[in-house]
């Protein structure tokens, strides 16, 4: 029970506070580079889990769980205090008659827009599609005769995808980058399905590469799109609300995956087809979002 409360609730809550605080503060300093800024920060978030997870796994085996927890408590406290002294939010531009072009939505105003809910559907669909494979990447590699280490390729491209998609977002636009990320999942699912049908390891590996890249692009786009569409002034709260989309995805993806694998007798064909299906839902959500957004822009 102490582990659930102290680690699950308190540490989980701390991660959420730090995650949103850092991204909300730093992205505001780069309004024209919100994609790259979000991507770099989120890549660091992902790599931190991989690097520290590996290090502390070894330390737990040698020093014991509670000793490592104490070391984490001291070191993280020091890092957070130092970071808090350095990190500052930029002054948000006021929304008034002199700044009519400044986008400035309050959380309630954002929630009343139709495009936000279609955007959330897009994000949930793609996050669910990614989690179908992400959680079983090592097992998928092993199931087709490859080393389980190849499953780590998803983590590598998950980190790289955050910067790649963020860079494309800044150079292209929201519409192009969102549809690109959706197509990455369709390609991923297609390659994985073809690999499952033919037994070609190279197709499985390429499918994992596209899965990792697309899944990495999801959080970057959530951050960048919310900042772009709804403004910087209320971005910390708006971004936090948008992150709630991770909750249904975290349930839908693994639940569907385990059910499909069980019904298929350990085979992954239906899982890969479901990935393509969910990516298709994301494309439909993207189309609807653009339609209502363009309509709302004319009305405003």
Q: How do the domains of the chain map onto residue ranges?
A: 101-299
User: How many other C-beta atoms are found inside a 10 Å radius of the C-beta of residue 182?
Assistant: 25
For the entire predicted model, the pTM comes to 0.85
If you search the block for the tokens 């097992």, which residue do you land on? 139
C-alpha span between 247 and 67 (Å, rounded): 31
Tokens of 296: 């709302």
Mean pLDDT by 10 residues, the chain (300 residues): 88 86 85 87 80 82 88 90 86 58 84 94 95 84 78 82 92 92 96 92 92 92 92 89 89 86 85 95 96 68
pLDDT at 95: 64
- Which DSSP category does 243 fall into? G
Q: Spell out the CATH class of 101-299.
A: mainly alpha
Give the C-alpha distances (Å, rounded to integers) separating 99 from 93, 96, 102, 104, 296: 8, 5, 6, 10, 20
Q: In 10 A of CB 138, how many CB atoms?
A: 16
Q: For position 188, what pLDDT does the model report? A: 96
Residue 298: predicted pLDDT: 53
pLDDT given at position 100: 47
């Amino acid at each position: 029970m102490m582990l659930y409360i102290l680690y699950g609730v308190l540490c989980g809550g701390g991660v959420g506070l730090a995650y949103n605080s850092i991204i909300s503060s730093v992205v505001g300093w780069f309004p024209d580079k919100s994609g790259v800024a979000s991507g770099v920060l989120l890549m660091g978030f992902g790599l931190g889990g991989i690097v520290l997870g590996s290090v502390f796994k070894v330390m737990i085996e040698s020093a014991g769980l509670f000793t490592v927890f104490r070391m984490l408590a001291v070191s993280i406290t020091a890092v957070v205090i130092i970071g808090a002294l350095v990190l500052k939010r930029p002054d948000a531009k006021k929304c008034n008659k002199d700044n009519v072009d400044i986008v400035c939505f309050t959380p309630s105003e954002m929630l009343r827009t139709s495009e936000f809910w279609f955007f959330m559907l897009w994000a949930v669909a793609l996050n669910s599609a990614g989690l179908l494979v992400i959680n079983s990447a090592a097992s998928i590699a092993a199931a087709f005769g490859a080393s389980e280490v190849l499953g780590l390729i998803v983590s590598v491209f998950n980190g790289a995808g955050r910067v790649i998609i963020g860079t494309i977002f800044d150079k292209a636009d929201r519409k192009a980058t969102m549809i690109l990320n959706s197509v990455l999942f369709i390609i991923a699912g297609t390659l994985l399905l073809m690999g499952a049908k033919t037994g070609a390891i190279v197709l499985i590996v390429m499918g994992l590469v596209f899965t990792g890249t697309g899944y990495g692009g999801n959080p970057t786009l959530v951050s960048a799109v919310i900042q772009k569409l709804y403004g910087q002034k209320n971005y910390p709260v708006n971004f936090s609300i948008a992150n709630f989309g991770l909750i249904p995805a975290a349930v839908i993806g693994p639940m569907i995956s385990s059910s499909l694998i069980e019904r298929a007798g350990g085979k992954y064909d239906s899982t890969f087809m479901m990935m393509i299906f969910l990516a298709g839902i994301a494309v439909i959500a993207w189309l609807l979002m653009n339609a209502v957004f363009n309509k709302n822009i004319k009305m405003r």
